[in-house]
Amino acid sequence: MTRYFAHSTGRPDKANWQPLRDHLIAVAGLAAVCGTKFRAGKAAGLAGQLHDLGKYTDGFQRRLSGGASVDHASAGARRVRELAKSGEDRLMAELVAYAIAGHHTGLPDREGNEGCLSDRLKKPLDSCDPVWRTEIAPDASGLMPGFKWTKESLPFQFGVLGRMIFSCLIDADRRDTEAFYARTEGRSVDRSWAALPAIVEGLVAAFDGYMDAKTANAVTTPVNALRAEVLSHVRNKAMQPQGLFTLTVPTGGGKTLASLAFALDHAKAHGLDRIVYAIPFTSIIDQTAAIFRDALGPDHILEHHSAIEEERANEREDRDKYQLAMEDWAAPIVVTTNVQLFESLFANRTSRCRKLHNLARSVIVLDEAQTIPLPVLRPCVAMLDELARNYRASIVLCTATQPALVAPDFCGGFAPEAIRELAPDPHRLHSQLKRVTVRHAGEMSDDDLVIALKSASQALVIVNSRAHALALYRMAMDAGLDGVIHLTTRQYAAHRG
């Protein structure tokens, strides 16, 4: 009969408590599967084996029965460094130690603040029962993945790898713990999403049918002809090797559907696991997600941004499948914000980092790529480059005005030979799709603007604050203008639509 448990229930006889060995082996297996996507399965599995090593103590077992809190993470972080023997394995063991130490509280700093890794590795700990060596038999050899390392980026690359291993551990630990309590409490947890490789042919067929219907009902115009040319050209590029791409198409050129088509065809060609579409503004997300659902159906698309989180929290008491998927991005197609994507990639919190391993083996499309803020542009470019280099992600920078992110013009930018354009002759497209003539009207008061609107058959006014927008709306209504609509991101998607 086991003496050591990972999780307890209300039964004092411990008959349905989770044995520690079972939990560690299960988490190791799940984490290894996650890590295998980027050739770090052994390191991620080792993190799973040792993450709760401190539960092999009498102190923690008393904690399960209501005793005092016990640090059960530091023991595994310390032990993994002792188990690794070779130089490369010791480097990887350091990364694994960070993941283990932070699997409840978040990734720690190495030095300098309370709870840093150095202090935790030095603190006195209760001795673990040596039975752990035979129950889980960890192997700390052969941990280094076969990455494409670059001397100038090596520290950054190790930082990304450490965060990815952390992601594998967090997701595996949470999943096994969730499954244990669901079983003991007799409830179900729906995290079932179809794998993209299993459904991608059907999604491509659905997309083709959607485009056929649009084409059949469309009037033949020069703009529609250009859109068809862009779509065909982009799809013909989908068989290219994975890596970095740009899609430079002016507004109105059909780049949203063209980028989706490329992502589907490219994922099919390379057996990729996921499509992630990152967009800077929630108002555009609403529109893009609606287009995707029209084209592909609603069952395989996760829309994840702050407004959706609030909506679902208000609508449902129980966490549903879509709320659960916001934690780990297990859905085959994810539509999210740039903020959600990049804050997660640079986060140390468990909730943010959990989804990161699911970015490996994916197509990541950044719509309106020029909107990445300048103060964070260099680290964001470095991250995208690393995802393409070592995590089998294909990156598509999709915009009408492509930012200059190629080295040497941009310090730390993409290598010129590494990035490929998907659109046919962007300069020609910009000329042929020009639809706007810019005329500077000078400064205008709100009163002058309302007078000008009276003589316009249609107009769009954009101002830089919600208060100003509301004031203009009220002035226009008071002036008797017909069809005035006030829009703000504080409105629900249904109202904005």
Residue 313: the pLDDT is 45
| Rounded Cα–Cα distance for residues 145 and 136 (Å) | 22
CA distances from 440 to 117, 437, 464, 473 (A): 58, 10, 18, 23
Residue 158: the pLDDT is 97
Residue 198: the pLDDT is 97
CA distances from 99 to 46, 61, 88, 159, 283 (A): 11, 23, 17, 11, 36
Residue 232: the pLDDT is 97
Extract the tokens encoding 186.
């007799």
Residue 342: the pLDDT is 97
| Measured torsion, CA atoms of residues 436, 442, 447, 449, in degrees rounded to the nearest 10 | 0
- Per CATH, 5-185 and 196-432 having the same topology is answered no
Query: Which residue in 380, 367, 395, 385 sits closest to 249, CA to CA?
Result: 367
| Rounded Cα–Cα distance for residues 251 and 170 (Å) | 40
The CATH number fitting domain 5-185, selected from 2.60.40.10, 3.30.930.10, 1.10.3210.30, 3.40.1350.10: 1.10.3210.30
Residue 319: the pLDDT is 55
SS3 content of the chain, % helix, strand, coil (to 5): 55, 10, 40
Domain definitions of the chain by residue range: 5-185, 196-432, 446-496
Amino acid at 10: G
Q: What is the fold, at CATH topology level, of the domain defined by 196-432? A: Rossmann fold (3.40.50)
| Rounded Cα–Cα distance for residues 244 and 420 (Å) | 6
Mean pLDDT of residues grouped by 10 in the chain (497 residues)? Answer: 91 95 98 98 98 97 93 96 94 97 96 90 93 96 96 96 98 98 94 95 97 87 92 97 97 93 98 97 84 94 74 51 91 95 96 97 96 95 98 96 92 94 93 85 90 89 91 92 85 64
Secondary structure of 274-311 in the HEC alphabet? EEEEEECCHHHHHHHHHHHHHHHCCCCEEEECHHHHHH
